[in-house]
């Protein structure tokens, strides 16, 4: 696509424990089918090598749990664009601060709760005559049609706790007006592969830093890798040691400019495998 790949980092001699923070949609998962088959063999090798793989996604806890189960992952994960960090209760053997327990997890909450976000959205919509629909306004069948998810996956996508996903209707001018109104209402927004994520206080970069500090308490020294494909991944990529940007179909990179950003020639999970194999020398 005429874009020069900037590596700019020393990919050799990385001996510290590695933690990979990775987006899911269009990155670890296929952009169209949401399959993780491409990455499965490499992830099995990484697990055997002691590399931690931490999903950091706009997806909900229920969605991420599904893919963690498929891939056999047991590391903590970051849900809903940094809204919360979910950590197995016995994962870290030292005392750390968290806000609540939910099922098998200690939960570090960074974002506003879903019901409060919905109240802000409803007020902004009524006051400004905005035309959008959130997952909370849709049935599972509507979410499935919009996203291409199957019904079970659409149900998991609706189990939101710290953010709302919006389908914003209208022209580019109307889109800008809607986003400006949401910002004026105190709502933060980010654009994912397909839709908009709205939250308050959620930040992938902050969540990655919090969790990376816990890993440093555990191991003393780590190297962090971040892999993403969309603008909402930029905060995560900005705080890791090795930021990687994979391509979107049909083969382009989002316009993200960061020092030492590796724009890998590979779409989604194919790019994920290519970059991580190169970095970890795991083939």
Helices (H), the chain: 40-48, 61-71, 114-128, 140-147, 151-157, 172-184, 204-219, 234-239, 268-280
Give which of 57, 34, 38, 7 is closest to 229, Cα–Cα.
57
> What tokens appear for 7 in the block?
């590596």
Question: Of 23, 25, 188, 203, which one is the catalytic site residue?
Answer: 23
Give which of 276, 211, 262, 266 is closest to 4, Cα–Cα.
262
Across-strand partners of 22?
55, 227
Cα 109–chain centre separation: 16
Q: How many other C-beta atoms can be found within 10 angstroms of the C-beta atom of residue 118?
A: 16
Measured CA to CA, the distance from residue 10 to residue 181 in angstroms comes to: 44
- 30 is an active site residue: no
Measured CA to CA, the distance from residue 67 to residue 53 in angstroms comes to: 12
CB 121 within 8 A of CB 196: no
CB 97 within 8 A of CB 106: no
- According to DSSP, residue 153 is labeled H
What spatial distance separates the first Cα and last Cα of the chain, rounded to whole Å? 27
HSE (side-chain half, CA atoms, 13 Å) at 80? 33
The set of catalytic residues is 23
């Amino acid at each position: 696509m005429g874009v020069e790949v900037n590596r700019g980092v020393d990919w050799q001699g990385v001996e510290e424990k590695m933690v990979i923070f990775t987006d899911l949609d269009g990155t670890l998962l296929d952009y169209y089918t949401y399959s993780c088959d491409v990455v499965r063999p490499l992830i099995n090798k990484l697990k055997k090598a002691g590399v931690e793989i931490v999903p950091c996604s706009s997806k909900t806890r229920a969605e991420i749990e599904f893919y963690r189960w498929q891939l056999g992952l047991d590391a903590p994960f970051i849900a809903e664009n940094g809204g919360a960090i979910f950590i197995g209760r016995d994962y870290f053997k030292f005392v750390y601060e968290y806000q609540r327990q939910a099922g098998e997890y200690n939960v570090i909450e960074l974002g506003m709760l879903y019901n409060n976000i919905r109240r802000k959205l409803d007020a902004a919509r009524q006051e400004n005559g905005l035309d959008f629909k959130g997952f909370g306004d849709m049935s599972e069948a509507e979410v499935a049609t919009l996203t291409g998810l199957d019904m079970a996956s659409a149900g998991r996508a609706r189990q939101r706790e710290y953010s709302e996903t919006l389908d914003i209707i209208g022209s580019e001018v109307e889109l800008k007006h809607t986003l400006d109104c949401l910002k004026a209402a105190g709502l933060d927004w980010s654009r994912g592969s397909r839709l908009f994520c709205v939250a308050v206080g959620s930040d992938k970069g902050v969540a990655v830093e919090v969790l990376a500090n816990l890993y440093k308490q555990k191991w003393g020294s780590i190297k962090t890798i971040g892999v993403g494909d969309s603008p909402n991944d930029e905060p995560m990529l900005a705080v890791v040691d090795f930021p990687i940007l994979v391509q979107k179909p049909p083969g382009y990179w989002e316009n993200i400019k960061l020092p030492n950003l590796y724009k890998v020639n590979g779409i989604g999970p194919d790019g994920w495998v290519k970059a991580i194999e190169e970095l970890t020398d795991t083939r």
